[in-house]
């Protein structure tokens, strides 16, 4: 499966049962207008820290994280050292990859995603550690066998070298089984007031023109563990439906839309359809009936324009036609001289 290699502002939240601590580190070569190294730290997909090669020092992104680092200066120092050492590690490995693959120019991206998930009901902990290069998975650590897997042939030599480093593998095992879940539980406890809140959205029916699909749009919900779908006669409906992605709002909440194409729906059947929004951890769904009177649109038919407005438009069109005709006559007369 392809790995997404883009610098994103991660603001999503995992479920109320499973929690995650994730670090996404990215080094670039030949990419302008961004630092050569960028690192994000996320708890339940909410960005809690950031560092890059320009600013040098890590920057907490949540109030609870600022408080935690203020009370634990040793932990802050750990992040400072990690930010510096990872910059050096990524820079050296990116240069090595470019030489090994005979890539003398162009834009190249090396990225790592590592961390752990913790189920607070079962206590299960799952670690993950993987690298990607230029938009594809490159090498992945199997924590069960403590061996590296190379999805790409170009990574096979790296796999052999890293498999032979038994001390590093033992450190990885200890980190993902003990240190990572310890800090994840600490972060979840410190940030519980914001990480585990739920906000319901406002839901609207939107339509550009009478022939456009009707969009059921929900905005302002939190966390992003949500789904929305159309129903027909109480059953989930998939035909002529287009599902949108969950997108972040500027205030940290989320929005989503799901469109229903009405070309095959008879007017008398509209009452059979409704839109359902479900937020994880919330018992009651938000159900919105497909009702023409509730659809919001900016479209106005020509027949609905006021007579005065119509007259002005017609007058302007006639004036434009006269101007164009006059221009052609002027050019013809000048060409004839």
* Buried/exposed 135-172: b ≥16 CB within 10 Å, e otherwise: eebbbbbebeeeebebeeeebeebbeebbeeeeebeeb
Q: What is the pTM of this model?
A: 0.67
Count of Cβ atoms closer than 10 Å to residue 111 Cβ: 23
pLDDT tens figures, 93-112: 999 999 988 888 899 999 99
- Sign, Cα dihedral of 318, 323, 329, 332: negative
Q: What is the pLDDT of residue 306?
A: 55
Largest CA distance in the chain: 94
Asked if pLDDT for residue 5 goes beyond 50, the answer is no
Asked if pLDDT for residue 7 goes beyond 50, the answer is no
Count of Cβ atoms closer than 10 Å to residue 73 Cβ: 9
Q: What is the pLDDT of residue 12?
A: 36
Q: Could you say which of 2.60.40.10, 3.30.300.210, 1.20.1250.20, 3.40.50.300 is the CATH number of the domain covering 202-296?
A: 2.60.40.10
Q: What is the pLDDT of residue 36?
A: 94
Cis peptide before 330 (omega within 30 of 0): no
pLDDT tens figures, 292-321: 999 999 876 555 545 554 555 555 555 555
With H, G, I as helix, E, B as strand and everything else as coil, classify residue 231: strand
State the CATH class of domain 18-195.
alpha beta
Q: What is the pLDDT of residue 195?
A: 84
Domain ranges of the chain: 18-195, 202-296
Q: What is the pLDDT of residue 14?
A: 36
């Amino acid at each position: 499966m392809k790995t997404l290699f883009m610098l994103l502002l991660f603001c999503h939240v995992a479920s109320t049962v499973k929690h995650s601590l994730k670090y996404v580190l990215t080094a670039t070569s030949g990419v302008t207008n961004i630092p050569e190294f960028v690192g994000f730290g996320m708890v339940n997909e909410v960005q809690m820290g950031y560092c890059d090669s320009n600013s040098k020092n890590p920057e907490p992104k949540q109030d609870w994280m600022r408080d935690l680092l203020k009370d634990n200066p040793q932990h802050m120092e750990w992040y400072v050292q990690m930010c510096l050492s990872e910059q050096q590690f990524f820079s050296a490995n990116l240069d090595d990859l470019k030489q090994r693959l005979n890539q003398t120019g162009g834009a190249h991206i090396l990225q790592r995603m590592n961390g752990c998930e913790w189920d607070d009901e079962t206590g299960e902990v799952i670690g993950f550690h993987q690298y990607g290069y230029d938009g594809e998975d490159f090498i992945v650590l199997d924590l069960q066998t403590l061996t590296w897997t190379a999805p790409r042939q170009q990574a096979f030599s790296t796999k052999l070298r890293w498999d032979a480093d038994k001390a590093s593998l033992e450190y990885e095992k200890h980190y993902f089984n003990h240190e990572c879940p310890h800090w994840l539980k600490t972060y979840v406890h410190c940030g519980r007031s914001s990480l585990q809140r739920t906000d319901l959205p406002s839901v609207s029916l939107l339509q550009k023109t009478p022939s456009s699909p009707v969009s059921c749009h929900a905005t302002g919900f939190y966390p992003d563990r949500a789904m929305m779908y159309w129903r027909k006669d109480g059953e989930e409906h998939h035909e002529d439906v287009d599902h949108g992605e969950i997108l972040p709002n500027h205030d940290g909440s989320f929005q989503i839309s799901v469109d229903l194409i009405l070309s095959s729906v008879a007017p008398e059947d509209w009452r059979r359809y409704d839109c359902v929004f479900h937020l994880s951890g919330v018992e009651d769904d938000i159900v919105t009936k497909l009702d023409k009177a509730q659809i919001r649109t900016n479209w106005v038919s020509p027949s609905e324009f006021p007579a005065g407005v119509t007259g002005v438009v017609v007058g302007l069109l006639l004036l434009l036609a006269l101007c164009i005709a006059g221009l052609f006559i002027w050019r013809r007369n000048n060409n004839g001289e």
